[in-house]
Amino acid sequence: MDVATRLRDEGYRMTPQRQLVWDVLRQADSHLTAEEIHDRVTERVADVNLASIYRTLALLDDLDLVKEVRLGDDRGRWELAHPDDTFHLVCRDCGQVTHHEGDLVEQVRAHLLGGHGFAAEEVDLVVHGLCERCR
């Protein structure tokens, strides 16, 4: 189901602004701040208000279509929602942010539940270091 349909199903409207934010995020090579999204949207069409970008992101977040991540620079960054979305490797050299693939999150959950009785719900792992290429 596409976003337009999803929005309408939930009682919201599809607008050019929302479509643009969504398109930018889908084509993004990295995790973008609201302002970066704003810049990219504005490159394509006449200015869209920053407040509308924030409102759109909040809405898409509510619908679990996008997710905000904090990678340590204290600004919100946004990406499409997906299963591994809370697990980020940030290279301090090239700046690239990769999503972790694999079962590490499951390992962490099992470890915490078994060893500490802690029932993990949201696991947010951000690792800064050097990626394979930059080492």
Partner DNA sequence: GTATATGCAAAGTCTTTGCATCGTT
Partner DNA sequence: AACGATGCAAAGACTTTGCATATAC
Residue 26 binds what, of DNA, a second copy, none (CB under 5 to 8 Å, by partner type)?
A: none
Contacts 24+ apart (CB under 8 A), 15-19: 16/45, 17/41, 17/48, 17/52, 17/53, 17/56, 18/56, 18/59, 18/60
Residue 112 CA, chain-centre distance (Å), reads 25
User: Which positions touch DNA (CB under 7 A)?
Assistant: 4, 7-8, 11-18, 33-35, 47-52, 54-56, 58-59, 74-76
Distance of alpha carbon 90 from alpha carbon 44, whole angstroms: 29
Q: Does 114 bind a second copy (CB under 8 A)?
A: no
**Binding-residue total with a second copy (CB under 8 A):** 34
Backbone angles phi, psi at 54, to 5 degrees: -60, -45
- CB 100 → a second copy: shortest distance, Å? 7
Q: Does 124 bind a second copy (CB under 8 A)?
A: yes
Q: Does 130 bind a second copy (CB under 8 A)?
A: yes
Looking at the Cβ atoms of 50 and 126, the one nearer to a second copy is 126
Q: Which of 26, 29, 28, 33 is nearest to 3 (CA)?
A: 26
Looking at the Cβ atoms of 103 and 124, the one nearer to DNA is 124
List of residues contacting a second copy (CB under 8 A):
70, 72, 74, 89, 91-92, 98, 100-102, 104, 107-108, 111-112, 115-132, 135
